[in-house]
């Protein structure tokens, strides 16, 4: 008995001192980040969140939103789904008008669902699955990034048009939805390219130490394919790329954005003929000078260069949300969603953005193409797929 | 029969005290009125359900099971199949049978069916596994967990494989979780004082003497396994409604070790230990999280560095086990009088 009276006392004390203020004050504009401040997702969430904070800082410096300063509240999801739901509820209790959730759909959805059930707008920091939006959360949910399928489709069409690739090999790492998404986009685009052929396809798993069997099958083709569509991500991507090149296969390798960044290039010295689609360049050569200026700001704010393009969606999300709030003249969720859904090719620092009542994600987007040549990545081109990927193809 | 009061009457105090304790926690949550705190309390009640479910088998049989979270997984997915809107099932889980796609039940009915589903599988697995004893049985339960996890992580059109299954109605009121936790406590108590429970505990303490007295050990273990499987399934069903998302990796090693360590800290051989282990450790986790987030005292904010919570929790668990190797409660149960009874009914003989 003594035990539990002590317990109850401890709990009451904790509740009184620790519980956040839950009265939402209508005079404030609050952005709530229910993101990972610890655990492995922190590596993805933190950079994008830093970029979001830069945009919030810019808006506040320019006089705020609807004449009010944007306030920020945070809650840590600890890279845990159950904690994610709590983090969502915490920021909502603290008066959030916009709930920003973890980059990944699986880890962001519990918090996004709490926002949805409270009738608030939620934004995934950089999720690239169709589910991160209407299809997997509800009508008030959005993602700031571009669908993985668009990356696969972009690389297929660009390599066909600009590099005259005709024979393709498809190598899928079945580990994540993201990987499958890239290959789905590639599969959708390929039949539309006259006389482009798929000469073979294969799968592997991210954790596979060796993909020798898959490489043997590529080597035993009568002719080396023009391009290999590699649908994979870190950490397995490095080993796969290294093994393909070590086996003497020199076909161009096409990828999704997840392998952007130069941090891993030393593992595959002198890598060439390697192409990645990115929303903005971290290499200081973006055709838009404002991106380079943003990179400088990012260095100032965080003390380091952006390590991959996944920093950028954080900036975009605050940008488009703030514009929608400005146009709606309120932070009311339905009004803001209506304004967001009116956006067609809305210009942002990292390419135009479109939302409509069917899809709260980008099923068509401008991508910069980064080529890695002799171990040095640089922007060589930009490409927008000729038509948006239909929702049916995305949902399969 | 002697003129002593029946075993049920002598031990009824234990589940009643534990229920009052849980109700007290629920009232604190209601009084606090904060949504995240409410959710925290829901988590605590879920863990109480799971750890009590685990206790039914582990506590009474003395065999440590690493596989029970598998039944939680079965229960959670069954609840998802039964409560999601048919439209979403059609697109996300097209491999389900037609009638299951068409059905959409209220969450409480689905939870009962989910518990039965988990119990059914516990019976199937248990029929084979319960012939084993000691470490071999533990390892076999672990293999069962791995099997369930592998099936659920790969059966794309029925479980959605590793993708999150969404569309499960979210239940945010605290009462269903409280009721389920209390029901679990009463089921555990009912089993412990039943013939099967008493025989099983006798066999746990003296296997040779028990089998010499005609106790069919595999059978008694199987009964406990099925009952605990059902409770774990019920917990799983409620778990899926607490956040509205299920994935197979939620129900794997992390949750297995969390629930086992709560049971060990509380006291493996005691129902009160199972409940108190959860309440003590969960309270501790929560207090440390608040300290990590920062608590304002006057004008200054006191905050611990991130990650301290996990470290402090580990240290506290080591200290508890160093001073009380058999857990906080040992083998004793809470009772109105000074605790002197061992397990509920341990002193009573079945006729």
CATH architecture entry for A148-278+366-395: 3-Layer(aba) Sandwich (3.40)
Angstrom CA distances, A218 to A173, A222, B298, stand at 15, 9, 68
Q: Which of A5, A10, A3, A6 is nearest to B272 (CA)?
A: A3
Mean pLDDT across the stretch B186-195?
95
pLDDT surpassing 70 at residue B192: yes
CA distance A290 to A277: 19
Residues in Cβ contact with B54 at an 8 Å cutoff, skipping those fewer than 6 apart: B65, B68, B228, B232, B259, B260, B263, B274
How far B276 CA lies from chain A's nearest CA (Å)?
A: 9
List, in sequence order, every residue forming a beta bridge with A202; answer none if it has no partner: A171
Residues in Cβ contact with A351 at an 8 Å cutoff, skipping those fewer than 6 apart: A279, A280, A365, A366, A367
Q: Is A25 exposed, middle or buried (0-12, 13-18, 19+ CB in 10 A)?
A: exposed
Contact residues on chain A for B279, CB-CB shorter than 8 A:
4, 7
pLDDT at A390: 92
| A389: number of Cβ within 10 Å | 22
Mean pLDDT across the stretch B244-250?
90
Kindly report, residue by residue over A65-79, the tens digit of the pLDDT.
999 999 999 999 988
Residues in Cβ contact with B247 at an 8 Å cutoff, skipping those fewer than 6 apart: A81, A106, B162, B163, B164, B165
pLDDT at A19: 39
Contact residues on chain A for B244, CB-CB shorter than 8 A:
85, 110, 113
Predicted confidence band of residue B337 (pLDDT cuts 50, 70, 90): low
CB A347 within 8 A of CB A81: no
Q: Of the candidates A76, A87, A110, which has its C-beta nearest B245's C-beta?
A: A110
Q: Of the candidates A7, A15, A37, which has its C-beta nearest B32's C-beta?
A: A15
Contact residues on chain A for B14, CB-CB shorter than 8 A:
none
Domain locations in chain B? 7-252
pLDDT surpassing 70 at residue B46: yes
CB A200 within 8 A of CB A169: yes
CB A142 within 8 A of CB A108: no
pLDDT surpassing 70 at residue B243: yes
Q: Which residue stretches of chain A have pLDDT < 70?
A: 1-26, 396
Q: Of the candidates A10, A19, A106, which has its C-beta nearest B32's C-beta?
A: A19
Coil, helix or strand for A338?
A: helix
Contact residues on chain B for A176, CB-CB shorter than 8 A:
162
Q: What is the pTM of this model?
A: 0.82
A270: DSSP letter: T
pLDDT at B336: 78
DSSP B122-139: HHHHHHHHTT--HHHHHH
Residues in Cβ contact with A318 at an 8 Å cutoff, skipping those fewer than 6 apart: A31, A52, A55, A56, A59
Diameter over CA atoms, chain A: 80
CATH of domain A2-146+295-341: 3.40.50.2300
pLDDT surpassing 50 at residue B202: yes
Q: Of the candidates B28, B38, B170, which has its C-beta nearest A11's C-beta?
A: B28
How far B262 CA lies from chain A's nearest CA (Å)?
A: 16
Contact residues on chain B for A19, CB-CB shorter than 8 A:
32, 34, 36-37
Is the peptide bond prior to A235 cis by the omega test (within 30 degrees of 0)?
yes
pLDDT at B338: 53
Contact residues on chain B for A86, CB-CB shorter than 8 A:
36, 39-40, 43
Predicted confidence band of residue B347 (pLDDT cuts 50, 70, 90): very low
As a whole number of Å, the end-to-end CA separation of chain A is 57
Q: What is the dihedral of CA B122, B125, B127, B129, to 10 degrees?
A: -120
Token pair 């518990």: residue: B115
Q: Which two tokens stand for residue A96?
A: 């959030």
Mean pLDDT across the stretch B55-75?
95
pLDDT at A17: 41
User: With an 8 Å Cβ cutoff, are A106 and B163 in contact?
Assistant: yes
User: With an 8 Å Cβ cutoff, are A395 and B166 in contact?
Assistant: no
The answer to whether residue A54 neighbours chain B at the CB level (below 8 Å) is no
Q: Is B319 exposed, middle or buried (0-12, 13-18, 19+ CB in 10 A)?
A: exposed
Best to test chain A binding among B19, B25, B31, B35 (most A CBs inside 10 Å)? B35
User: With an 8 Å Cβ cutoff, are B36 and A90 in contact?
Assistant: yes
User: With an 8 Å Cβ cutoff, are B163 and A18 in contact?
Assistant: no
Contact residues on chain A for B328, CB-CB shorter than 8 A:
3
Kindly report, residue by residue over A77-96, the tens digit of the pLDDT.
988 888 899 899 999 989 99
Contact residues on chain B for A3, CB-CB shorter than 8 A:
276, 328
Q: Of the candidates B35, B166, B276, which has its C-beta nearest A109's C-beta?
A: B166
CA distance B207 to B156: 44
How far A78 CA lies from chain B's nearest CA (Å)?
A: 9
How far A12 CA lies from chain B's nearest CA (Å)?
A: 7
Mean pLDDT rounded to a whole number for chain B: 89
CA distance B315 to B309: 10
Percentage of chain B with pLDDT > 70?
Answer: 95
Strands of A118-159 (E only): list them: 121-124, 141-143
Kindly report, residue by residue over B120-152, the tens digit of the pLDDT.
999 999 999 999 988 999 999 999 999 999 999
Best to test chain A binding among B87, B164, B174 (most A CBs inside 10 Å)? B164
Kindly report, residue by residue over B87-123, the tens digit of the pLDDT.
888 888 999 999 999 999 999 999 999 999 999 999 9
User: With an 8 Å Cβ cutoff, are B39 and A105 in contact?
Assistant: no
What is the bridge-based pairing of β-strands B300-302 and B295-297? antiparallel
Q: Of the candidates A16, A81, A90, which has its C-beta nearest B243's C-beta?
A: A81
pLDDT surpassing 80 at residue B182: yes
Q: Which two tokens stand for residue A320?
A: 């488009």
Contact residues on chain B for A113, CB-CB shorter than 8 A:
166, 170, 243-245
Percentage of chain A with pLDDT > 70?
Answer: 93
pLDDT surpassing 70 at residue B350: no
Q: Of the candidates B28, B164, B279, which has its C-beta nearest A15's C-beta?
A: B28
Domain locations in chain A? 2-146+295-341, 148-278+366-395
Q: Which two tokens stand for residue A131?
A: 């589910």
Kindly report, residue by residue over A182-235, the tens digit of the pLDDT.
999 999 999 999 999 999 999 998 888 899 999 999 999 999 999 999 999 988
Q: Of the candidates B28, B36, B296, which has its C-beta nearest A12's C-beta?
A: B28
Predicted confidence band of residue B3 (pLDDT cuts 50, 70, 90): low
Please check whether the two domains, A2-146+295-341 and A148-278+366-395, share a CATH topology. yes
pLDDT at B349: 40
Contact residues on chain B for A93, CB-CB shorter than 8 A:
34-36
Specify the higher pLDDT residue, B326 or A14.
B326
């Amino acid at each position: 008995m003594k035990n539990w009276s002590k317990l109850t006392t401890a709990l009451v004390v904790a509740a009184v001192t620790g519980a956040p203020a839950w009265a939402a004050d209508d005079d404030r504009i609050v952005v709530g980040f229910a993101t990972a401040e610890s655990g492995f997702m922190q590596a993805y969430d933190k950079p994008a969140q830093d970029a979001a904070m830069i945009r919030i800082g810019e808006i506040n410096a320019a006089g705020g939103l609807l004449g009010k300063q944007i306030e920020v509240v945070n809650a840590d999801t600890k890279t845990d789904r159950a904690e994610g739901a709590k983090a969502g509820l915490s920021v909502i209790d603290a008066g959030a008008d916009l709930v920003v959730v973890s980059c990944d759909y699986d880890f962001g959805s519990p918090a996004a669902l709490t926002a949805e059930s409270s009738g608030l707008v939620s934004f995934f920091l950089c999720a690239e699955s169709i589910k991160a939006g209407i299809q997997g959360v509800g009508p008030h949910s959005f993602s700031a990034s571009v669908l993985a399928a668009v990356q696969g489709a972009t690389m297929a069409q660009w390599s066909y048009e600009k590099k005259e690739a005709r024979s393709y090999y498809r190598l899928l790492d079945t580990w994540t939805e993201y990987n499958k998404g890239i290959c789905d986009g590639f599969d959708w685009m390929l039949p539309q390219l006259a006389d482009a052929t798929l000469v073979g396809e294969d799968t592997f798993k991210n954790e596979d130490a060796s993909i020798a069997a898959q490489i043997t099958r590529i080597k035993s083709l009568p002719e080396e394919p023009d391009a290999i569509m590699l649908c994979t991500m870190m950490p397995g991507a490095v080993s796969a790329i290294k093994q393909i090149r070590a086996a003497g296969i020199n076909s161009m390798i096409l990828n999704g954005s997840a392998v952007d960044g130069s941090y891993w290039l030393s593992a595959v010295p002198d890598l060439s003929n390697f192409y990645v689609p990115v929303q903005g360049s971290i290499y200081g050569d973006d055709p838009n000078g404002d991106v380079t200026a943003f990179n400088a700001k990012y260095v100032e704010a965080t003390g380091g260069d952006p390590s991959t393009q996944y920093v950028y969606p954080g900036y975009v999300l605050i940008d488009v949300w703030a514009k929608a709030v400005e146009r709606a003249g309120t932070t009311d969720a339905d009004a803001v969603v209506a304004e967001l859904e009116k956006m067609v090719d809305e210009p942002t620092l990292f390419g135009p953005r479109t939302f409509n009542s069917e899809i709260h994600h980008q099923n068509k987007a401008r991508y910069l193409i980064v080529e890695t040549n002799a171990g040095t990545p640089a922007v060589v081109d930009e490409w927008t797929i000729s038509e948006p990927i239909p929702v049916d193809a995305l949902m399969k | 029969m002697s003129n002593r009061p029946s075993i049920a009457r002598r031990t009824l105090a234990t589940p009643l005290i534990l229920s009052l304790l849980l109700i007290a926690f629920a009232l604190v949550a209601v009084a606090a009125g904060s949504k995240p705190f409410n959710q925290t309390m829901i988590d605590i009640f879920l863990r109480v359900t799971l750890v009590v479910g685990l206790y039914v088998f582990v506590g009474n049989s003395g065999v440590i099971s690493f596989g029970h979270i598998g039944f939680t997984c079965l229960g959670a997915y069954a609840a998802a199949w039964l409560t999601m809107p048919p439209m979403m099932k059609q697109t996300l889980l097209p491999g389900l049978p037609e009638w299951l796609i068409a059905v959409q039940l209220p969450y409480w009915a689905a939870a009962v069916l989910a518990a039965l589903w988990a119990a059914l599988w516990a019976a199937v697995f248990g029929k084979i596994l319960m012939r084993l004893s000691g470490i071999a049985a533990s390892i076999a339960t672990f293999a069962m967990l791995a099997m369930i996890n592998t099936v659920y992580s790969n059966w794309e059109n029925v479980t959605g494989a590793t993708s999150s299954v969404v569309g499960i109605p979210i239940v945010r009121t605290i009462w269903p979780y409280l009721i389920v936790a209390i029901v679990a406590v009463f089921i555990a108590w009912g089993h412990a004082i039943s013939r099967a429970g008493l025989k099983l505990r006798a066999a746990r303490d003296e296997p040779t003497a028990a089998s010499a007295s005609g106790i069919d050990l595999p059978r008694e273990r199987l009964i406990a396994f099925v009952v605990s499987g059902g409770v774990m399934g019920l917990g799983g069903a409620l778990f899926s409604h607490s956040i509205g998302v299920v994935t197979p990796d939620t129900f794997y090693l992390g949750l297995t070790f969390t629930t086992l360590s709560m049971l060990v800290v509380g006291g493996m051989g005691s129902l009160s230990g199972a409940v108190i282990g959860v309440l003590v450790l969960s309270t501790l986790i929560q207090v440390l999280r608040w300290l990590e987030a920062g608590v304002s005292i006057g004008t200054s904010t006191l905050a611990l560095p991130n990650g301290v919570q996990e470290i402090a929790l580990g240290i506290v668990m080591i200290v508890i086990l160093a001073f009380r190797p058999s857990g906080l409660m040992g083998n004793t149960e809470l009772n109105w009088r000074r605790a002197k009874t061992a397990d509920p009914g341990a002193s009573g003989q079945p006729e």
